[in-house]
A and B are shown apart, each in its own frame.
Chain A
Amino acid sequence: MSITINIPSALRPYVKGQSTIEAHGQTVGQALDFAEQQHPDLAKHLRDDTGQLRGFVNIFIGQEDIRHLDGEKSPLSNGDALTIVPAIAGGAS
């Protein structure tokens, strides 16, 4: 099924400057895998060395954080919009 992924400003250079890309998949993980295969440089900033999503990377289906659903196993419906929101976080310590 066809999914739209909204790309944050910091990651757009890895998707040819696009603010949205199209992906396919039955689950969030499959849609992200599709996007990472199409745009390989995305992966190292979305995932750590073990392949897990980095802790500061938030993924929403519509307005719902996938952490409140079933993570990357969360099912998708045709036409769903995923949004990647890398958290603004850090600090002196």
Chain B
Amino acid sequence: MQIEKHLAEQLRAHAEATYPHEAVGILAGHRKDNLVLQTVPLQNEHQQAHNRYQVNPLAQWQAEAELEAQGLEVLGYYHSHPDHPSQYSETDRKLALPNVNYVIIAVQFGKSHSIQNWRLLEDRSAMEEHPFIETNSPSKETT
């Protein structure tokens, strides 16, 4: 997955703003080149938001429908791990689906550091790391 630097910065800023709670959002673009063109922050409604996240499914559905109406596709989702590595957890694995990217931003003492991108294996047994490449080129389609 590739993402322009200014969008990656939006992810970091969101993760830091919600600290010590987990941030969550959608990564959208076109599947053919796996390039993120838009990020959509969502509300984490989990009661244990310091180490769990959950989005209202109606809000999620609406957000994804709006992206598709713009001609974008859901490439994946991001969330943060406050004071925890960007390694996926067993909870992340159990609640994941294949074919989409799960980007995890580690935030330590309120400051973001490592970011890793994970995808669920087809047999659901584990997640494997995939590239998360920050690019310099500006996108005309980004809003």
Contacts and interface: CB of A to CB of B under 8 A. Distances in A.
Interface of A: 8-13, 19, 44-45, 56, 58, 60, 63, 65, 83, 85-93
B21 to A, nearest CB: 10
A11 B99 contact: yes
A12 B64 CA distance: 14
Interface residues of B, number: 36
SS class, residues of chain A in contact with chain B = mixed
A19 B64 CA distance: 12
B122 to A, nearest CB: 9
B132 interface: no
B12 interface: no
Interface of B: 22, 24, 26, 42, 46, 48, 51-55, 57-58, 60-61, 64, 68, 73-74, 77, 79, 81-82, 84, 88-89, 91-92, 95-100, 102, 124
Contacts, number: 90
A9 to B, nearest CB: 4
Nearest to A65: B57
B95 A10 contact: no
A85 B61 contact: yes
A42 B97 CA distance: 11
Contact of B89 (A11, A19, A65, A92): A92
A19 B58 CA distance: 18
Contacts of A56: 95
A90 B97 contact: no
19 contacts: A8-B74, A9-B74, A10-B98, A10-B100, A11-B99, A45-B97, A45-B124, A88-B54, A88-B77, A88-B79, A90-B53, A90-B79, A90-B95, A90-B102, A91-B53, A91-B89, A91-B92, A92-B22, A92-B51
